[in-house]
Structure 1
């Protein structure tokens, strides 16, 4: 089974070229970020489009484009961003889709239009299981998956763990549905009171790590059986996602090393299992 490891630019420091060079040297297959003209808004540093395109080619990195729906008309926001993203020929698009405050009927109308534009551009879209979005809980996601058999996910179960304040012991049915429809994993470990543990290798979070790895392994098994590639991003984030020491504002762990630890850990898990 082919496994692609992707590095998010979220929390990266230094020049754009130094970021790409570091990512490539660490053995990642690609990068994940908003479109270059939106990187500063979401990740806090500017990115020139021509340089961005040149660096992707120079370092032979594949690209996952991120879109974030907003405004009065989320469907039109999605359409506009996906059509722009398609110009970059990404291997897939990861979408923060709709809002948790929408009614099911409003969400259904959104996803009907989202699936239509996905088919039009011919690029797979994974709708992320993210707080504040339509897929912020296992049961809202399950309802949408039942309604739309073609809907695909970016599985970031750390959000569900936080929202449900549990390791989802009572959500087996919805987890199974989500696992079958996942095309991309954000391999971040959450816990009952937050979306990101200080370090996934810390022994005090072994239960949380084991739970997340159990879900990820099931996703890997589904891809192995289907003969499709497994794409994952160890998407740990900077403060305030990363806990900080009181009074110092210092992050408790090195973000780059945490992501790299998670990358190697998942690759080892897949290599030993498949």
Structure 2
């Protein structure tokens, strides 16, 4: 089974073509990112990805509107914009934590309809503030909507539940069964991102995340189903800053490349 690795465009400050060159040289298979609506700007991005032989995972995160009708209309608009680019698949931070089950299900159903219409797979990310913000809440959705497929960013749940999820074995086991894509950020009980997973003080949190990812990899290997990983350690202010100087405490790019190489060595 081949695992493909993607770089997050989130945090990039370089010209996009330079970024793509660096992504390819580092050994990634592609980029995960949102796309602009402007056709010219979108075309420049897609041309750069193609020129460097990089795949695209479409990313949706723009879940802001409180009114569900407005929210659903914008959700569809963003998804259709991503679909038109023919990405490998689309990863969505779907819904809101304060929406009801029925309201969030309306969005899941809309995504499923667009996926059937387009042939582009659409999956949904476990993310704070969104529909799948907590382990037990996600368990409820997966039980009620058994064909729901997810991007597992379990770092958010560590933060939400202020733990390494020792008491949520059943909830995370079900989530693993529904996972198609991983965001390999390492969280901890007081935050969604350790400052540097290479530091020895984070060895327990890193090892716990590796054990979780091991189970997902084993499940996909058993069925020979594809698995993808985005190394999504984020920039400031996800990356903690030093006081007064506001300098990041570590280098986002270096950490993400380290995580890719660590996982490639572990699973290949």
Query: Shorter-normalised TM-score: what interval?
Result: over 0.9
Per mean C-alpha deviation after superposition, the further-off stretch among 114-123 and 246-255 is 114-123
Q: Does 1:62 align with 2:55?
A: yes
Which residue is 1:42 aligned to?
Answer: none
Q: Does 1:181 align with 2:174?
A: no
Structure 1: tracts of 5 or more residues without a match: 39-46
- The answer to whether the 8 Å contact 2:94/2:104 transfers is no
Q: Does 1:137 align with 2:134?
A: yes
Which residue is 1:155 aligned to?
Answer: 152
Q: Does 1:171 align with 2:168?
A: yes
Which residue is 1:226 aligned to?
Answer: 223
SS in 1 for 2:136: helix
Q: Does 1:113 align with 2:110?
A: yes
Separation (CA, whole Å) in 2 of partners of 1:138 and 1:157: 9
Which residue is 1:213 aligned to?
Answer: 210
Alignment RMSD: 1.4
- What aligned pairs does 1:16-165 form with structure 2 within 5 A after superposition? 16-37=16-37, 48-68=41-61, 69-71=63-65, 72=67, 73=69, 74-165=71-162
- The answer to whether the 8 Å contact 2:4/2:228 transfers is yes
Q: Compute the displacement of 1:133 (Å).
A: 0.2
Q: Compute the displacement of 1:112 (Å).
A: 2.2
Q: Does 1:244 align with 2:237?
A: no
Separation (CA, whole Å) in 1 of partners of 2:73 and 2:114: 10
Q: Compute the displacement of 1:79 (Å).
A: 2.0
The number of residue pairs the alignment matches comes to 263
Separation (CA, whole Å) in 2 of partners of 1:264 and 1:36: 30
CA displacement, residues 22-63 of structure 1 (integer Å, 9 cap, x when unaligned)? 11111100001101348xxxxxxxx92221121111101000
- The answer to whether the 8 Å contact 1:179/1:219 transfers is yes
SS in 1 for 2:59: strand
- The answer to whether the 8 Å contact 1:115/1:150 transfers is no
SS in 2 for 1:107: helix
Runs of 4 or more off by more than 3 Å in structure 1?
none
Separation (CA, whole Å) in 1 of partners of 2:78 and 2:243: 39
- The answer to whether the 8 Å contact 2:37/2:81 transfers is no
Separation (CA, whole Å) in 1 of partners of 2:72 and 2:267: 36
